[in-house]
Amino acid sequence: MGFIKQHQGSTASALERCKSFTFDVNQQAESLIQWEQRYNQHSSGTFSGYLDELKLGGIHFFEEFTNRTLQQQCCVKHDNLWLGFSLQPQRPKINNSEIIGGQLMTRPSGIEFELITPPDFHIYGLVINKNSLSEEMIGGDNDLWQNQSHTMQASRPNHYVSYELAKLISLLLNNNNSPMGSDSIFGDENPARLSRLTPLITSKVADLLTQTEYGFNEVKVTQQTTQRVISDITHYIKETNSYPLTITELCQITNVSRRALQYCFEQGFGMSPIQYIRDCRLNEIRRLLLNADNELGIADLALDFGFFHIGTFNAQYKYLFGETPSQTIKRSVTYQNPIISQNTSNK
């Protein structure tokens, strides 16, 4: 039997990072925090597995690998909600029901359930405090979510949501040996940034969850509502000289649910509210990078404007403007001192 654990202690901003490598099925079951669970191994051979975990504020993210068929008896602790999903061809079962690709498995705390996982299996998961999630849901979204989350075992397939949640967890864990990863915008050299991350990440999770089957029921939005919502956001940006960083803020400004906000932007701009506000923030960052008086670095600007992963920020910036943030800075001198061509020919 062997057990190896790499642990990064918590900070004042409630960050906990831990990666465990196990060679015994019982230790695998005992390693995951926020759970009561027991694993039985049902395929032959030496067991090995790992858990990569990150706890940030009210959300616990993890990726788990196990190399043998397991029967898992599980129960989430405290007032939390678990969501699990896998992008692999091999499919797990929850309470004897096979989970097909794109489905999210969901169970509230205090209710036991059985999870059967095939050999050589990766599963992503998050455990989120229900109160933290409720604070991100506005109006009808919150009512619908609370009603469904108490009874739901798995959603209908939504490959986009599963993929985006897996990508988010991978970005946070970063899947390498560095405790925080070279691309992570919240390195431990600047722990003050961590307190600003929690609302951004929680809002991102809420955005994705409202796009599952229980968050995208039919919503009727009038043209007048669309015009009013867009006007409210434009007025807010003009009056405050700042941009909302999360969809939750947009919903609070406009007093509509996430689903209604989505339809308003599809009607008004032909794009999602996420894309619209992201493009606005990227444009403002670009203006600051071109300003000779700007003293903030790229990473600080990105976080100030709601981008919590520097690699993703750089990719989105380059996609929109055709150049990297560093390239924008390099040519800022030329921007400040443009060459004006004058036509001196006789007319």
The per-residue DSSP string of 69-129 comes to -EEEEEEE-SSEEEEEE--SSS--EETTEEPPTTPPEEEETT--EEEEE-SSEEEEEEEEE
Q: How far apart are CA 260 and CA 251, in angstroms?
A: 9
pLDDT reading at 6 higher than 60: no
* Mean predicted confidence (pLDDT) in 253-263: 88
In the chain the domains, ranked by start, together with CATH numbers, are 3-184 (no CATH), 199-333 (1.10.10.60)
pLDDT (tens digit per residue) in 174-197? 744 333 334 454 554 455 566 667
Six-digit token string for 282 = 């990227």
**Given strand 35-41, what is the order of strands in its sheet?**
35-41, 70-76, 113-117, 93-94, 97-98
Six-digit token string for 250 = 């947009």
Coil, helix or strand at residue 313: helix
Q: How far apart are CA 55 and CA 188, in angstroms?
A: 14
pLDDT score, position 92: 94
User: Which of 95-99, 198-202, 257-261, 337-341 has the highest mean predicted lDDT (pLDDT)?
Assistant: 95-99
Coil, helix or strand at residue 188: coil
Distances in Å between the Cα of 207 and the Cα atoms of 117, 159, 201, 285, 341 are 28, 15, 10, 23, 49
Number of H helices, E strands in the chain: 13, 12
pLDDT (tens digit per residue) in 307-320? 878 888 999 999 99
pLDDT (tens digit per residue) in 34-77? 789 999 999 999 999 999 998 877 788 999 999 999 999 999 98
